[in-house]
């Protein structure tokens, strides 16, 4: 089971999937709280997605230009 906070370009998740497959995992399930399909650069399958989000979100550990990380909510950023 791979649990991600956000899947953006897909590179990190693809690397993890390849690593577990190379090590002989019998099955791999992927979960992500947030997914940015508009930013995807490579095809990766995410079986379970909490929310599809637009270009910029921040809060709960996610940041925009090193700010907003401490926001207790995940919010859409409209001005960068």
- Examine the residue annotation and report whether 8 is marked as an active-site residue of this protein: yes
Q: Exactly one of 8, 55, 63, 73 is catalytic; which is it?
A: 8
Inter-residue contact 8 to 38 (CB < 8 Å): no
**15-34 burial string, b = 16+ CB within 10 Å, else e?**
eebeeeeeeeeeeeebebbb
- List, by residue number, the catalytic residues: 8
């Amino acid at each position: 089971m791979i649990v991600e906070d956000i899947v953006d370009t897909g590179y990190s998740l693809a690397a993890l999937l390849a690593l577990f497959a190379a090590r002989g995992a019998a099955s791999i399930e992927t979960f992500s709280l947030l997914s940015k399909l508009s930013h995807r650069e490579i095809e990766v399958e995410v079986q379970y997605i909490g929310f599809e989000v637009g270009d910029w979100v921040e809060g709960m550990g996610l940041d925009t230009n090193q700010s907003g990380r401490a926001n207790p909510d995940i919010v859409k950023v409209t001005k960068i």
